[in-house]
Amino acid sequence: MTAESTIDRARLASYQEQLTEWRRDFHRHPELAFEEVRTSGLVADRLREFGLEPETGIGGTGVVAVIESGSSERSIGLRADMDALPIHEQNAFDHKSTCDGKMHACGHDGHTSMLLGAARYLSETRDFDGRVVLIFQPAEEKDGGAREMIRDGLFDRFSIDQVYGMHNLPGTAVGEFALCSGPMMAAIDTFEARVVGIGGHAAFPHGCKDGIVAAAQIVSAWQSIVARNVDPIESAVISTTMIHAGDAFNVLPAVIELGGCVRTFDPNVQDLIQTRLREIGEALCAAHDLTFEFEYNRYYPATVNSAAEVERSARAVSQMGMTVDTEMSPIMGSEDFSFMLQERPGAFVMTGNGPSSGLHTPLYDFNDALLSVGTEYWVTLVQQELASVG
């Protein structure tokens, strides 16, 4: 056994021009969640060009292809996301979005291209023993494309022992990777509440049931949940992001609508916050003789890496001669790869995108220098995990 990478760097380097072309083409034609028809069509075409037999329409617009080599039953899943965001791009370069109001502002154009690069390399060389399952996922930004692929039988139809994901990280140098064991990205839940009273003339509040005063108290009291109910060692964020009510200076509205989101790492903290949001709303509304209606929606779970797979991911990066921080501080952002990590052990890794504008900003662009780095990571990980035995 050797720890040296066996990757054919000349072959990889010869892909760069094509990878850049694919990436910029995806960037010019962004498609939102579950609308990735052109993107997934091109992905499937490329996979067929590599001699693979992709299955399409999994979880909506998802695509899966399997590359087999040797006789081993071992298998590994590699996942890329394909969707864009409803942002109007402000870049002026040639490959800027051609669709007003849609943009690849999270780099999923690059993620898709890197996995295609790995598909090409692995199908050409077949220098491994086992099965590689390539997962091209729709709708990461919205409505959980990963969950939809799982509901559509991803893990039943395809043998997958362990599953890996990767995301670019602006502000970190290309060639630097980071991840951690356990919860690495937060769960996100959303809530909507209605405070219902009796509207009327603002000069005669005693003839009304005013929800505005109660809603203001509720929003403030919710902030005490993190400060007073959650264990100080744990992390959580409660953000009320929407308050809608009233149309006139002199009319008390009958209904006040509130909405927001909750970020947590620990399911017990998540349960606690869901309970306390409701309890506080109900109690304050009762105090003001109002009705409280509340809906809580668990959106994406926390992204939880398993320790062994973090170590495997880090070993692959080290084999490439690049740096990896395995003690990255968890971040409050969310990622729907979390659904796949609930099904199989695996690891999600961040990989530096250089000094680009931040994710989800109108000046962001995926760094094409990262294309060969990400492709090499996927190939190295496969060759390491599905190394020929003996």
Please give the residue ranges that form the binding site for Zn ion (CB under 5 A): 106
**In terms of Cα–Cα distance, which of 339, 13, 301 is closest to 185?**
301
**Nearest CB to Zn ion, comparing residues 33 and 290:** 33
Cβ closer to Zn ion: 41 or 358? Answer: 358
Given the complex with Zn ion, which of 161 and 176 has the nearer CB atom?
Answer: 176
d(CA 78, CA 302): 19
Identify which of residues 59 and 211 has a Cβ nearer to Zn ion in the complex. Answer: 59
> How many CA atoms within 13 Å lie on the side-chain side of 120?
23
Q: CA dihedral in degrees (169, 173, 179, 183; nearest 10)?
A: -40
CB of 343 to Zn ion, least distance (A): 20
Tally of CB atoms within 10 A around 270: 21
Minimum Å distance from CB 6 to Zn ion?
31
- The residue number with the shortest CB distance to Zn ion is 106
At closest approach, how far in Å is the CB of 152 from Zn ion? 21
Phi, psi angles (nearest 5°) of residue 199: -75, 175
Nearer to Zn ion, 140 or 385 (CB): 140
**Do the beta carbons of residue 34 and residue 139 sit within 8 Å?**
yes
**In the bound complex, what is the minimum distance in angstroms from residue 106's beta carbon to Zn ion?**
3
Q: Which of 86, 108, 87 is nearest to 167 (CA)?
A: 108
Closest approach of Zn ion to the CB of residue 140, in Å = 6
Distances (CA, A) of 259 to 158, 192, 254: 39, 4, 17
Q: Which is nearer to Zn ion, 110 or 130 (CB)?
A: 110
Tokens of 370: 């990262």
As measured in angstroms, the least distance from the Cβ of 141 to Zn ion is: 5
Q: Is 253 helix (H, G, I), strand (E, B) or coil?
A: coil
